[in-house]
Amino acid sequence: MPEVPDLEAIRTFFNHRIIGETVERVDPVIPFIVRVPRDEFVTSLTGDTFGEVHRFGKFLLFSLASGNVLVVNPMLTGRFTYIPTKERRKGRTALVLTLGNGQDIRYADQRVMGRIYLTTPDEVKNLPQFGDSGPDVLSPDVTEEVFRERLRKHSGQIKSILVNHKFLAGIGNAYSDEILWEAKIHPYRKRTQLTDEEIGALYKAIHTTMDWAIAILADLMKDNLDYTEWRGHLRVHRQGGKPCPRCGTNISEVTAGQRITSFCRSCQPEVPHL
Q: Is residue 73 part of a domain?
A: yes
Q: In this predicted structure, what is the pLDDT of residue 273?
A: 56
Same domain, 16 and 83: yes
Residue 257 has pLDDT above 90, yes or no: no
> Count of alpha carbons within 13 Å of 260, Cβ hemisphere only?
11
What's the CA gap between 274 and 266, in Å, rounded? 14
Per-residue model confidence as pLDDT tens digits over 213-242 = 999 999 999 988 866 667 889 999 999 999
Asked if 176 and 162 touch (Cβ cutoff 8 Å), the reply is yes
The reported pLDDT for the residue numbered 75 is 92
Give residue 216's pLDDT. 94
pLDDT of 64 strictly over 90: yes
- Answer with the one of 93, 126, 159 that is the final residue of a domain: 126
- Check residue 244 and give its pLDDT: 97
Mean pLDDT of the chain: 94
> What's the gap between Cα 215 and its chain centre?
15
Q: Are residues 122 and 148 in the same domain?
A: no
3-state secondary structure string, 169-232?
ECCCHHHHHHHHHHHCCCCCCEHHHCCHHHHHHHHHHHHHHHHHHHHHHHHHCCCCCCCCCCCC
Q: Based on the domain organization, do 160 and 66 belong to the same domain?
A: no
Residue 130: CB partners within 8 Å, gap ≥ 6?
Answer: 56, 57, 59, 71, 73, 124
Distance CA 253, CA 245 (A): 15
Q: Is 120 within a domain?
A: yes
Instruction: Give the chain's domain count.
Output: 2
Does 151 fall in a domain? yes
pLDDT at 90: 87
Q: Catalytic residues, which ones?
A: 2-3, 58, 259
Residue 139 burial (C-beta neighbours within 10 Å; 0-12, 13-18, 19+): middle
pLDDT at 76: 85
49 vs 52: CA distance, rounded Å: 10
Report how far apart, in Å, the C-alpha atoms of 14 and of each of 42, 58, 218 are.
21, 16, 12
What is d(CA 232, CA 228) in angstroms, rounded to the nearest whole number? 11
Verify that 114 and 163 share a domain, yes or no. no
> Is residue 9 within a helix (H) or strand (E), and if so which, with residue range?
helix 4-15
Residue 258, pLDDT above cutoff 60: yes
Q: What percent of the chain has pLDDT over 70?
A: 97
Q: Is 156 left (phi over 0), alpha (psi -120 to 50) or beta?
A: left
Which has more pLDDT, 76 or 34? Answer: 34
> Residue 1: its pLDDT value, please?
75
Burial of 209 (0-12, 13-18, 19+ CB in 10 A): buried
If one compares 270 and 98, the residue with the highest pLDDT of the two is: 98
**By percentage, how much of the chain surpasses pLDDT 90?**
89
pLDDT at 142 > cutoff 80: yes
What average pLDDT does the segment 190-202 reach? 97
Q: What is the pTM for the complete model shown?
A: 0.93
CB atoms within 10 A of CB 173: 18
Q: Which of 126, 153, 177 is the last residue of a domain?
A: 126
What's the domain range around 224? Answer: 144-263
The pLDDT-based confidence of 147 (bands split at 50, 70, 90) is very high
Expressed in angstroms, the distance from the first to the final Cα of the chain is 37
Say how far apart CA 78 and CA 148 lie, in whole Å.
Answer: 33
Query: Is 94's pLDDT higher than 90?
Result: yes
